[in-house]
Structure 1
Amino acid sequence: MTVNSHLRELADAAVIRNAEKQSISRSIHTLQQRLEYYFGNELSKHFIFGSYTRGTILPRAMDGNSDIDYMVVFEGSNYKPQTYLDKLRRFVEYYYSSSEITQSNPTIVLTLNHIKFELVPAITDWFHGLQIPAKRADLNDWIDTDPNDINRDLSNANQSNNSLIKPMIRLVKYWNAINNYPFNSFELEKELAERSYIWVSLLTSAQLKDYFFDAVESLSLGWGAAQYKKTALDRAKTIVRQAKSNSQDGYEALALSQIKELLPEVTTAKGALWGL
Protein backbone atom coordinates (compact mmCIF):
# COMPACT_ATOMS: atom_id res chain seq x y z
CA MET A 1 0.00 0.00 0.00
CA THR A 2 1.16 3.54 -0.77
CA VAL A 3 0.32 6.87 0.82
CA ASN A 4 -1.98 7.64 -2.09
CA SER A 5 -3.80 4.32 -1.96
CA HIS A 6 -4.33 4.69 1.80
CA LEU A 7 -5.81 8.16 1.29
CA ARG A 8 -7.95 6.83 -1.54
CA GLU A 9 -9.37 4.10 0.68
CA LEU A 10 -10.11 6.58 3.47
CA ALA A 11 -11.76 9.04 1.08
CA ASP A 12 -13.95 6.25 -0.29
CA ALA A 13 -14.85 5.13 3.25
CA ALA A 14 -15.84 8.74 3.98
CA VAL A 15 -18.90 8.51 1.70
CA ILE A 16 -22.26 7.74 3.31
CA ARG A 17 -23.60 4.51 1.82
CA ASN A 18 -25.99 1.60 2.21
CA ALA A 19 -27.99 1.31 5.44
CA GLU A 20 -26.81 4.67 6.82
CA LYS A 21 -27.77 6.45 3.61
CA GLN A 22 -31.17 4.75 3.49
CA SER A 23 -31.85 5.63 7.12
CA ILE A 24 -30.96 9.27 6.54
CA SER A 25 -33.11 9.41 3.39
CA ARG A 26 -36.11 8.08 5.33
CA SER A 27 -35.58 10.65 8.07
CA ILE A 28 -35.36 13.48 5.53
CA HIS A 29 -38.56 12.31 3.82
CA THR A 30 -40.38 12.08 7.17
CA LEU A 31 -39.16 15.54 8.20
CA GLN A 32 -40.36 17.03 4.92
CA GLN A 33 -43.81 15.51 5.27
CA ARG A 34 -44.16 16.65 8.88
CA LEU A 35 -43.09 20.20 8.04
CA GLU A 36 -45.75 20.37 5.32
CA TYR A 37 -48.46 19.00 7.59
CA TYR A 38 -47.57 21.09 10.66
CA PHE A 39 -46.93 24.47 9.05
CA GLY A 40 -49.00 24.31 5.86
CA ASN A 41 -49.21 27.76 4.25
CA GLU A 42 -46.86 29.28 6.82
CA LEU A 43 -43.92 28.06 4.71
CA SER A 44 -42.91 29.26 1.26
CA LYS A 45 -40.36 26.45 0.81
CA HIS A 46 -37.97 24.18 2.68
CA PHE A 47 -34.95 22.25 1.47
CA ILE A 48 -31.67 20.51 2.29
CA PHE A 49 -28.43 22.41 1.84
CA GLY A 50 -24.88 22.09 3.10
CA SER A 51 -22.39 19.22 2.94
CA TYR A 52 -25.05 16.55 2.36
CA THR A 53 -25.94 18.14 -0.98
CA ARG A 54 -22.27 18.53 -1.88
CA GLY A 55 -21.28 14.94 -1.18
CA THR A 56 -18.78 15.98 1.49
CA ILE A 57 -20.71 14.97 4.60
CA LEU A 58 -18.89 12.26 6.58
CA PRO A 59 -20.40 9.05 7.97
CA ARG A 60 -20.92 9.23 11.72
CA ALA A 61 -18.22 6.58 12.16
CA MET A 62 -15.79 9.27 10.97
CA ASP A 63 -17.47 12.37 12.38
CA GLY A 64 -19.79 12.10 15.33
CA ASN A 65 -21.06 15.63 14.63
CA SER A 66 -22.15 15.00 11.05
CA ASP A 67 -25.43 16.75 10.42
CA ILE A 68 -27.98 17.60 7.76
CA ASP A 69 -28.54 21.32 7.20
CA TYR A 70 -32.19 22.05 6.46
CA MET A 71 -33.55 25.50 5.64
CA VAL A 72 -37.15 26.34 6.51
CA VAL A 73 -38.32 29.50 4.73
CA PHE A 74 -41.34 31.16 6.32
CA GLU A 75 -43.89 33.31 4.53
CA GLY A 76 -43.73 36.93 5.58
CA SER A 77 -41.02 38.63 7.62
CA ASN A 78 -42.89 40.30 10.44
CA TYR A 79 -41.13 38.73 13.40
CA LYS A 80 -37.77 38.64 15.10
CA PRO A 81 -35.56 35.59 14.47
CA GLN A 82 -36.29 34.07 17.88
CA THR A 83 -39.99 33.88 17.04
CA TYR A 84 -39.23 31.66 14.07
CA LEU A 85 -36.75 29.62 16.09
CA ASP A 86 -39.46 29.09 18.70
CA LYS A 87 -41.85 27.92 15.97
CA LEU A 88 -39.30 25.33 14.85
CA ARG A 89 -38.65 24.24 18.41
CA ARG A 90 -42.36 23.64 19.01
CA PHE A 91 -42.50 21.67 15.76
CA VAL A 92 -39.66 19.31 16.71
CA GLU A 93 -40.96 18.96 20.27
CA TYR A 94 -44.33 17.94 18.85
CA TYR A 95 -42.98 15.21 16.55
CA TYR A 96 -39.66 14.27 18.18
CA SER A 97 -40.37 14.60 21.90
CA SER A 98 -38.07 11.71 22.85
CA SER A 99 -35.07 13.11 20.90
CA GLU A 100 -32.48 15.62 22.01
CA ILE A 101 -33.50 19.13 20.98
CA THR A 102 -31.32 22.21 21.49
CA GLN A 103 -30.92 25.70 20.12
CA SER A 104 -27.57 26.60 18.69
CA ASN A 105 -28.05 30.08 17.34
CA PRO A 106 -29.19 30.47 14.61
CA THR A 107 -30.51 26.89 14.38
CA ILE A 108 -32.66 24.34 16.15
CA VAL A 109 -30.68 21.13 16.48
CA LEU A 110 -32.56 17.83 16.39
CA THR A 111 -30.39 14.84 17.31
CA LEU A 112 -31.67 11.43 16.21
CA ASN A 113 -29.95 8.09 16.80
CA HIS A 114 -28.35 8.02 13.36
CA ILE A 115 -28.10 11.66 12.28
CA LYS A 116 -28.42 15.23 13.47
CA PHE A 117 -30.55 17.89 11.78
CA GLU A 118 -29.82 21.60 11.98
CA LEU A 119 -33.04 23.41 11.15
CA VAL A 120 -32.38 26.96 9.98
CA PRO A 121 -35.32 29.40 9.85
CA ALA A 122 -35.26 31.88 6.98
CA ILE A 123 -37.30 34.65 5.45
CA THR A 124 -37.35 36.17 1.99
CA ASP A 125 -36.70 39.90 1.75
CA TRP A 126 -37.81 41.56 -1.50
CA PHE A 127 -34.49 43.43 -1.77
CA HIS A 128 -31.95 41.10 -0.14
CA GLY A 129 -33.38 37.69 -1.01
CA LEU A 130 -33.00 34.85 1.49
CA GLN A 131 -32.03 35.83 5.03
CA ILE A 132 -31.26 33.81 8.14
CA PRO A 133 -30.88 34.85 11.79
CA ALA A 134 -27.68 36.71 12.52
CA LYS A 135 -25.39 35.61 15.32
CA ARG A 136 -25.90 37.32 18.65
CA ALA A 137 -22.83 39.53 18.21
CA ASP A 138 -24.17 41.06 14.99
CA LEU A 139 -26.01 44.37 15.02
CA ASN A 140 -28.70 43.22 12.61
CA ASP A 141 -31.38 40.61 13.29
CA TRP A 142 -31.01 39.00 9.86
CA ILE A 143 -28.14 38.40 7.46
CA ASP A 144 -28.22 37.61 3.74
CA THR A 145 -27.48 34.07 2.67
CA ASP A 146 -26.95 32.06 -0.49
CA PRO A 147 -27.07 28.48 0.80
CA ASN A 148 -25.78 26.99 -2.43
CA ASP A 149 -22.92 29.34 -3.32
CA ILE A 150 -20.26 26.98 -1.99
CA ASN A 151 -21.82 24.14 -4.01
CA ARG A 152 -21.03 25.97 -7.24
CA ASP A 153 -17.48 26.80 -6.18
CA LEU A 154 -16.84 23.22 -5.09
CA SER A 155 -18.33 21.71 -8.23
CA ASN A 156 -16.18 23.94 -10.45
CA ALA A 157 -13.03 23.24 -8.46
CA ASN A 158 -13.70 19.50 -8.46
CA GLN A 159 -14.25 19.40 -12.22
CA SER A 160 -11.10 21.42 -12.85
CA ASN A 161 -8.95 19.12 -10.73
CA ASN A 162 -9.79 15.61 -11.93
CA SER A 163 -12.51 15.09 -9.29
CA LEU A 164 -9.94 15.15 -6.48
CA ILE A 165 -11.19 18.14 -4.48
CA LYS A 166 -14.23 16.48 -2.89
CA PRO A 167 -12.29 13.40 -1.67
CA MET A 168 -9.53 15.70 -0.41
CA ILE A 169 -12.06 17.77 1.55
CA ARG A 170 -13.50 14.62 3.11
CA LEU A 171 -10.00 13.66 4.26
CA VAL A 172 -9.33 17.08 5.79
CA LYS A 173 -12.73 17.04 7.51
CA TYR A 174 -11.92 13.59 8.92
CA TRP A 175 -8.64 14.93 10.32
CA ASN A 176 -10.54 17.90 11.75
CA ALA A 177 -13.10 15.64 13.44
CA ILE A 178 -10.63 13.29 15.13
CA ASN A 179 -8.69 16.29 16.45
CA ASN A 180 -11.67 17.91 18.19
CA TYR A 181 -12.38 20.41 15.41
CA PRO A 182 -9.55 22.93 15.22
CA PHE A 183 -11.64 24.50 12.44
CA ASN A 184 -15.33 25.19 12.03
CA SER A 185 -16.42 22.48 9.58
CA PHE A 186 -18.33 24.77 7.22
CA GLU A 187 -15.64 27.46 7.15
CA LEU A 188 -12.98 24.81 6.54
CA GLU A 189 -14.91 23.35 3.63
CA LYS A 190 -15.61 26.78 2.16
CA GLU A 191 -11.94 27.75 2.33
CA LEU A 192 -10.85 24.55 0.61
CA ALA A 193 -13.55 24.85 -2.05
CA GLU A 194 -12.61 28.42 -2.94
CA ARG A 195 -8.82 28.28 -2.94
CA SER A 196 -6.71 27.88 -6.07
CA TYR A 197 -4.94 24.58 -6.75
CA ILE A 198 -3.03 25.81 -9.78
CA TRP A 199 0.37 24.65 -8.53
CA VAL A 200 -0.88 21.17 -7.67
CA SER A 201 -2.71 20.83 -11.00
CA LEU A 202 0.53 21.63 -12.83
CA LEU A 203 2.21 18.56 -11.35
CA THR A 204 2.61 15.63 -13.69
CA SER A 205 -0.15 13.14 -12.83
CA ALA A 206 -1.19 14.93 -9.64
CA GLN A 207 -2.72 12.50 -7.14
CA LEU A 208 -5.04 12.76 -4.17
CA LYS A 209 -2.05 12.83 -1.82
CA ASP A 210 -0.71 15.95 -3.56
CA TYR A 211 -3.98 17.79 -3.02
CA PHE A 212 -4.19 16.63 0.58
CA PHE A 213 -0.62 17.70 1.33
CA ASP A 214 -1.23 21.07 -0.32
CA ALA A 215 -4.46 21.61 1.63
CA VAL A 216 -2.90 20.86 5.02
CA GLU A 217 0.08 23.09 4.28
CA SER A 218 -2.30 25.94 3.37
CA LEU A 219 -4.29 25.89 6.61
CA SER A 220 -3.78 28.58 9.21
CA LEU A 221 -5.37 29.63 12.51
CA GLY A 222 -5.88 33.08 13.96
CA TRP A 223 -3.55 34.35 16.65
CA GLY A 224 -6.21 33.90 19.31
CA ALA A 225 -6.89 30.23 18.56
CA ALA A 226 -6.87 27.76 21.45
CA GLN A 227 -3.58 26.02 22.07
CA TYR A 228 -4.97 22.54 21.34
CA LYS A 229 -5.95 23.76 17.88
CA LYS A 230 -2.48 25.15 17.20
CA THR A 231 -0.89 21.94 18.46
CA ALA A 232 -3.08 19.78 16.22
CA LEU A 233 -2.35 21.88 13.14
CA ASP A 234 1.39 22.09 13.84
CA ARG A 235 1.50 18.31 14.23
CA ALA A 236 -0.38 17.82 10.95
CA LYS A 237 1.94 20.15 9.07
CA THR A 238 5.03 18.45 10.52
CA ILE A 239 3.79 14.95 9.60
CA VAL A 240 2.82 16.05 6.09
CA ARG A 241 6.21 17.69 5.56
CA GLN A 242 8.05 14.57 6.74
CA ALA A 243 5.85 12.14 4.80
CA LYS A 244 6.12 14.23 1.65
CA SER A 245 9.91 14.26 1.89
CA ASN A 246 10.15 10.54 2.63
CA SER A 247 7.85 9.66 -0.26
CA GLN A 248 9.88 11.78 -2.66
CA ASP A 249 13.09 10.12 -1.44
CA GLY A 250 11.69 6.63 -2.03
CA TYR A 251 10.86 5.75 1.57
CA GLU A 252 7.21 5.05 0.84
CA ALA A 253 6.68 2.62 3.71
CA LEU A 254 7.93 5.20 6.21
CA ALA A 255 5.79 7.91 4.63
CA LEU A 256 2.76 5.63 4.80
CA SER A 257 3.28 4.90 8.50
CA GLN A 258 3.50 8.63 9.18
CA ILE A 259 0.29 9.41 7.28
CA LYS A 260 -1.49 6.60 9.14
CA GLU A 261 -0.58 8.39 12.38
CA LEU A 262 -2.27 11.49 11.02
CA LEU A 263 -5.22 9.75 9.35
CA PRO A 264 -5.73 6.33 10.93
CA GLU A 265 -8.05 3.72 9.56
CA VAL A 266 -11.60 4.28 10.75
CA THR A 267 -11.71 1.35 13.21
CA THR A 268 -8.58 2.57 15.02
CA ALA A 269 -9.80 6.17 15.12
CA LYS A 270 -13.11 5.52 16.89
CA GLY A 271 -11.67 5.93 20.37
CA ALA A 272 -10.42 9.42 19.61
CA LEU A 273 -13.55 10.26 17.66
CA TRP A 274 -15.98 9.35 20.42
CA GLY A 275 -13.79 10.59 23.26
CA LEU A 276 -13.02 7.14 24.66
Structure 2
Amino acid sequence: MSVNSHLTSLASDLVLSEREELSISISIKELSSRLNSCFSSTVTEHFQFGSSTRGTILPRKADNHSDIDYMVVFDISNGQMKPQTYLDRLRRFVNLKYSTSEISQSHPTIVLSLNHINFELVPAIYYNYTYYIPSPASSWLEWTSTYPYGTNQLLQDKNKLHNYQIKPLVRLVKYWNTRNGHPFSSFLIEQHIINQSFGHCSLLKDYFYEFWSAFNCTYDTPQYIKNMVNSTKQYAIKTKEDENNNMHLSAKLKIEKIVPSL
Protein backbone atom coordinates (compact mmCIF):
# COMPACT_ATOMS: atom_id res chain seq x y z
CA MET A 1 0.00 0.00 0.00
CA SER A 2 1.35 3.41 -0.97
CA VAL A 3 1.45 6.49 1.28
CA ASN A 4 -1.44 8.06 -0.60
CA SER A 5 -3.59 4.93 -0.47
CA HIS A 6 -2.91 4.63 3.26
CA LEU A 7 -3.96 8.24 3.88
CA THR A 8 -7.01 7.93 1.63
CA SER A 9 -8.14 4.70 3.29
CA LEU A 10 -7.58 6.10 6.77
CA ALA A 11 -9.45 9.34 5.99
CA SER A 12 -12.37 7.21 4.83
CA ASP A 13 -12.26 5.17 8.05
CA LEU A 14 -12.45 8.44 9.99
CA VAL A 15 -15.95 9.20 8.70
CA LEU A 16 -18.92 8.47 10.97
CA SER A 17 -20.64 5.19 10.14
CA GLU A 18 -24.30 5.09 9.14
CA ARG A 19 -25.08 3.53 12.51
CA GLU A 20 -23.38 6.39 14.35
CA GLU A 21 -25.14 8.95 12.18
CA LEU A 22 -28.49 7.33 12.95
CA SER A 23 -27.83 7.19 16.71
CA ILE A 24 -26.82 10.85 16.75
CA SER A 25 -29.88 11.82 14.71
CA ILE A 26 -32.18 9.99 17.13
CA SER A 27 -30.49 11.62 20.14
CA ILE A 28 -30.78 15.08 18.60
CA LYS A 29 -34.45 14.58 17.86
CA GLU A 30 -35.06 13.49 21.47
CA LEU A 31 -32.98 16.36 22.85
CA SER A 32 -34.91 18.85 20.74
CA SER A 33 -38.24 17.50 21.94
CA ARG A 34 -37.18 17.62 25.60
CA LEU A 35 -35.85 21.16 25.29
CA ASN A 36 -39.13 22.31 23.74
CA SER A 37 -41.23 20.71 26.47
CA CYS A 38 -39.03 21.96 29.30
CA PHE A 39 -38.28 25.55 28.27
CA SER A 40 -41.20 26.45 26.02
CA SER A 41 -40.97 30.19 25.23
CA THR A 42 -37.90 30.87 27.41
CA VAL A 43 -35.69 29.35 24.69
CA THR A 44 -36.04 31.00 21.28
CA GLU A 45 -34.14 28.37 19.25
CA HIS A 46 -31.73 25.48 19.56
CA PHE A 47 -29.63 23.72 16.96
CA GLN A 48 -26.63 21.55 16.16
CA PHE A 49 -23.44 23.28 14.99
CA GLY A 50 -19.69 22.72 14.86
CA SER A 51 -17.64 19.97 13.21
CA SER A 52 -20.53 17.50 13.17
CA THR A 53 -22.33 19.80 10.70
CA ARG A 54 -19.21 20.12 8.55
CA GLY A 55 -18.43 16.43 8.12
CA THR A 56 -15.16 16.66 10.03
CA ILE A 57 -16.13 15.10 13.35
CA LEU A 58 -14.17 11.95 14.17
CA PRO A 59 -15.90 8.68 15.14
CA ARG A 60 -15.58 7.49 18.72
CA LYS A 61 -13.26 4.64 17.64
CA ALA A 62 -10.73 7.35 16.68
CA ASP A 63 -11.44 9.94 19.37
CA ASN A 64 -13.16 9.28 22.68
CA HIS A 65 -13.59 13.04 23.06
CA SER A 66 -15.71 13.46 19.94
CA ASP A 67 -18.82 15.45 20.73
CA ILE A 68 -21.81 17.18 19.21
CA ASP A 69 -22.00 20.95 19.73
CA TYR A 70 -25.56 22.04 20.40
CA MET A 71 -26.52 25.68 20.96
CA VAL A 72 -29.45 26.65 23.18
CA VAL A 73 -30.49 30.29 22.71
CA PHE A 74 -32.29 31.84 25.67
CA ASP A 75 -34.86 34.60 25.41
CA ILE A 76 -33.62 37.94 26.82
CA SER A 77 -36.70 40.06 26.05
CA ASN A 78 -37.33 40.40 29.81
CA GLY A 79 -33.70 41.09 30.65
CA GLN A 80 -30.31 39.49 30.19
CA MET A 81 -28.84 37.27 32.91
CA LYS A 82 -25.24 36.29 33.63
CA PRO A 83 -23.81 33.28 31.75
CA GLN A 84 -23.80 31.06 34.84
CA THR A 85 -27.57 31.56 35.20
CA TYR A 86 -28.15 29.99 31.79
CA LEU A 87 -25.61 27.24 32.47
CA ASP A 88 -27.48 26.44 35.69
CA ARG A 89 -30.75 26.24 33.75
CA LEU A 90 -29.20 23.75 31.32
CA ARG A 91 -27.77 21.75 34.20
CA ARG A 92 -31.21 21.50 35.84
CA PHE A 93 -32.65 20.48 32.48
CA VAL A 94 -30.21 17.60 31.93
CA ASN A 95 -30.50 16.51 35.57
CA LEU A 96 -34.25 16.30 35.11
CA LYS A 97 -34.37 14.73 31.66
CA TYR A 98 -31.19 12.64 31.65
CA SER A 99 -30.86 11.51 35.25
CA THR A 100 -29.04 8.26 34.39
CA SER A 101 -26.47 9.89 32.14
CA GLU A 102 -23.13 11.39 33.07
CA ILE A 103 -23.41 15.17 33.35
CA SER A 104 -20.67 17.72 33.97
CA GLN A 105 -19.90 21.39 33.43
CA SER A 106 -16.93 22.27 31.26
CA HIS A 107 -17.10 26.03 31.08
CA PRO A 108 -18.73 27.42 29.03
CA THR A 109 -20.80 24.28 28.29
CA ILE A 110 -22.79 21.53 29.97
CA VAL A 111 -21.50 18.13 28.85
CA LEU A 112 -24.08 15.40 28.45
CA SER A 113 -22.43 11.98 28.04
CA LEU A 114 -24.61 9.46 26.24
CA ASN A 115 -23.52 5.92 25.39
CA HIS A 116 -22.56 6.68 21.80
CA ILE A 117 -21.49 10.35 21.91
CA ASN A 118 -21.08 13.42 24.12
CA PHE A 119 -23.24 16.49 23.67
CA GLU A 120 -21.83 19.90 24.59
CA LEU A 121 -24.82 22.10 25.35
CA VAL A 122 -23.82 25.72 24.81
CA PRO A 123 -26.07 28.44 26.28
CA ALA A 124 -26.37 31.51 24.10
CA ILE A 125 -28.17 34.81 23.69
CA TYR A 126 -28.96 36.64 20.47
CA TYR A 127 -29.18 40.37 19.79
CA ASN A 128 -28.07 42.83 17.11
CA TYR A 129 -28.04 39.94 14.61
CA THR A 130 -25.25 38.22 16.56
CA TYR A 131 -25.05 35.14 18.77
CA TYR A 132 -23.15 35.39 22.05
CA ILE A 133 -21.91 32.52 24.21
CA PRO A 134 -20.18 32.56 27.63
CA SER A 135 -16.55 33.55 27.38
CA PRO A 136 -13.83 31.10 28.42
CA ALA A 137 -13.00 31.13 32.12
CA SER A 138 -9.68 32.84 31.34
CA SER A 139 -11.38 35.86 29.77
CA TRP A 140 -12.42 39.02 31.64
CA LEU A 141 -15.47 39.32 29.38
CA GLU A 142 -18.73 37.59 30.28
CA TRP A 143 -19.88 37.01 26.69
CA THR A 144 -18.14 36.53 23.37
CA SER A 145 -19.65 36.78 19.90
CA THR A 146 -19.81 33.68 17.74
CA TYR A 147 -20.94 32.73 14.25
CA PRO A 148 -22.07 29.10 14.57
CA TYR A 149 -22.22 28.45 10.83
CA GLY A 150 -19.46 30.83 9.76
CA THR A 151 -16.85 28.14 9.15
CA ASN A 152 -19.17 25.76 7.32
CA GLN A 153 -19.33 27.63 4.03
CA LEU A 154 -15.63 28.49 4.10
CA LEU A 155 -14.69 24.85 4.55
CA GLN A 156 -17.16 23.70 1.92
CA ASP A 157 -15.79 26.20 -0.61
CA LYS A 158 -12.19 25.27 0.18
CA ASN A 159 -12.98 21.57 -0.11
CA LYS A 160 -14.63 22.02 -3.51
CA LEU A 161 -11.80 24.24 -4.77
CA HIS A 162 -9.23 21.57 -3.90
CA ASN A 163 -10.93 18.56 -5.44
CA TYR A 164 -12.57 17.48 -2.17
CA GLN A 165 -9.27 16.76 -0.45
CA ILE A 166 -9.61 19.32 2.35
CA LYS A 167 -12.16 17.55 4.58
CA PRO A 168 -10.16 14.28 4.45
CA LEU A 169 -7.06 16.32 5.36
CA VAL A 170 -8.88 17.90 8.32
CA ARG A 171 -9.88 14.47 9.62
CA LEU A 172 -6.32 13.15 9.28
CA VAL A 173 -4.82 16.08 11.17
CA LYS A 174 -7.50 15.85 13.86
CA TYR A 175 -6.67 12.16 14.20
CA TRP A 176 -2.98 13.04 14.69
CA ASN A 177 -4.09 15.63 17.24
CA THR A 178 -6.17 13.19 19.30
CA ARG A 179 -3.42 10.56 19.28
CA ASN A 180 -1.08 13.15 20.76
CA GLY A 181 -3.30 14.29 23.59
CA HIS A 182 -5.24 17.09 21.86
CA PRO A 183 -2.50 19.76 21.97
CA PHE A 184 -4.59 21.93 19.62
CA SER A 185 -8.30 22.65 19.48
CA SER A 186 -10.17 21.04 16.61
CA PHE A 187 -11.48 24.44 15.58
CA LEU A 188 -7.94 25.86 15.39
CA ILE A 189 -6.91 23.01 13.09
CA GLU A 190 -9.86 23.65 10.78
CA GLN A 191 -9.16 27.38 10.74
CA HIS A 192 -5.49 26.83 9.91
CA ILE A 193 -6.32 24.53 7.00
CA ILE A 194 -9.00 26.89 5.67
CA ASN A 195 -6.51 29.77 5.72
CA GLN A 196 -3.55 27.80 4.37
CA SER A 197 -2.54 28.10 0.73
CA PHE A 198 -2.05 24.79 -1.05
CA GLY A 199 -0.01 25.20 -4.20
CA HIS A 200 0.64 22.35 -6.59
CA CYS A 201 -1.28 19.67 -4.72
CA SER A 202 -3.42 17.00 -6.33
CA LEU A 203 -3.32 13.85 -4.18
CA LEU A 204 -4.22 13.69 -0.50
CA LYS A 205 -0.59 12.95 0.38
CA ASP A 206 0.43 16.25 -1.29
CA TYR A 207 -1.97 18.16 0.95
CA PHE A 208 -0.75 16.24 3.99
CA TYR A 209 2.90 17.06 3.25
CA GLU A 210 2.04 20.67 2.50
CA PHE A 211 0.11 21.05 5.76
CA TRP A 212 3.04 19.90 7.87
CA SER A 213 5.48 21.97 5.87
CA ALA A 214 3.54 25.15 6.69
CA PHE A 215 2.24 24.38 10.18
CA ASN A 216 4.14 26.13 12.96
CA CYS A 217 3.55 26.71 16.64
CA THR A 218 3.21 30.16 18.16
CA TYR A 219 5.94 31.65 20.32
CA ASP A 220 4.14 30.88 23.58
CA THR A 221 3.31 27.25 22.71
CA PRO A 222 4.70 24.89 25.39
CA GLN A 223 8.04 23.38 24.42
CA TYR A 224 6.81 19.79 24.59
CA ILE A 225 4.16 20.59 21.96
CA LYS A 226 6.74 22.32 19.78
CA ASN A 227 8.91 19.21 20.03
CA MET A 228 5.95 17.02 19.08
CA VAL A 229 5.15 19.15 16.03
CA ASN A 230 8.79 19.35 14.92
CA SER A 231 9.14 15.57 15.21
CA THR A 232 6.06 15.08 13.03
CA LYS A 233 7.32 17.61 10.49
CA GLN A 234 10.60 15.69 10.24
CA TYR A 235 8.79 12.38 9.75
CA ALA A 236 6.71 13.98 6.98
CA ILE A 237 9.84 15.32 5.26
CA LYS A 238 11.58 11.94 5.46
CA THR A 239 8.47 10.13 4.23
CA LYS A 240 8.35 12.36 1.16
CA GLU A 241 12.08 11.84 0.56
CA ASP A 242 11.68 8.06 0.74
CA GLU A 243 8.86 8.22 -1.78
CA ASN A 244 10.94 10.33 -4.14
CA ASN A 245 13.73 7.74 -3.84
CA ASN A 246 11.31 4.87 -4.55
CA MET A 247 11.72 3.56 -0.99
CA HIS A 248 8.02 2.86 -0.71
CA LEU A 249 8.09 0.39 2.19
CA SER A 250 10.19 2.77 4.28
CA ALA A 251 7.83 5.63 3.38
CA LYS A 252 4.82 3.56 4.40
CA LEU A 253 6.37 2.72 7.77
CA LYS A 254 7.11 6.38 8.40
CA ILE A 255 3.64 7.67 7.51
CA GLU A 256 2.18 5.13 9.93
CA LYS A 257 4.31 6.67 12.67
CA ILE A 258 2.38 9.88 12.10
CA VAL A 259 -1.11 8.51 11.49
CA PRO A 260 -1.37 4.75 12.03
CA SER A 261 -4.27 2.65 10.81
CA LEU A 262 -7.26 2.37 13.11
Scaled to the shorter chain, the TM-score interval is: over 0.9
Whether 2:131 is the aligned partner of 1:135: answer no
By how many angstroms is 1:227 displaced?
A: 3.6
The letter for the 2-side match of 1:2 is S
Whether 2:239 is the aligned partner of 1:243: answer yes
Q: Which residue of 2 aligns with 1:98?
A: 100
Q: Which residue of 1 aligns with 2:209?
A: 213
By how many angstroms is 1:222 displaced?
A: 2.6
Q: Aligned to 2:70, what secondary structure does the other structure show?
A: strand
Aligned-partner Cα distance in 1 for 2:193–2:82: 34
Instruction: Give identity over the alignment, percent.
Output: 45
Aligned-partner Cα distance in 1 for 2:142–2:258: 41
| Structure 1 residues 1-276: aligned runs within 5 Å | 1-76=1-76, 77-125=79-127, 127=128, 129-197=130-198, 199=199, 202-203=200-201, 206-266=202-262
Q: Aligned pairs, how many?
A: 260
Aligned-partner Cα distance in 1 for 2:151–2:46: 19
- Give runs of ≥4 in structure 1 deviating > 6 Å: none
Alignment check: 8 A CA contact 1:182 1:232 kept: no
The letter for the 2-side match of 1:91 is F
The letter for the 1-side match of 2:4 is N
Root mean square deviation of aligned Cα: 1.3
By how many angstroms is 1:153 displaced?
A: 1.1
Alignment check: 8 A CA contact 1:132 1:142 kept: yes
By how many angstroms is 1:177 displaced?
A: 0.4
Q: TM-score, normalised by structure 1?
A: 0.90
Aligned-partner Cα distance in 2 for 1:99–1:217: 43
By how many angstroms is 1:230 displaced?
A: 2.2
By how many angstroms is 1:20 displaced?
A: 1.9
The letter for the 1-side match of 2:195 is E
Cα displacement string for residues 210-232 of structure 1 (whole angstroms, at most 9, x for unaligned residues): 10111122222233333432232
Aligned-partner Cα distance in 2 for 1:128–1:142: 15
Alignment check: 8 A CA contact 1:131 1:143 kept: yes
By how many angstroms is 1:192 displaced?
A: 1.2
Unpaired stretches in structure 2, ≥5 consecutive residues? none
Aligned-partner Cα distance in 2 for 1:149–1:98: 35
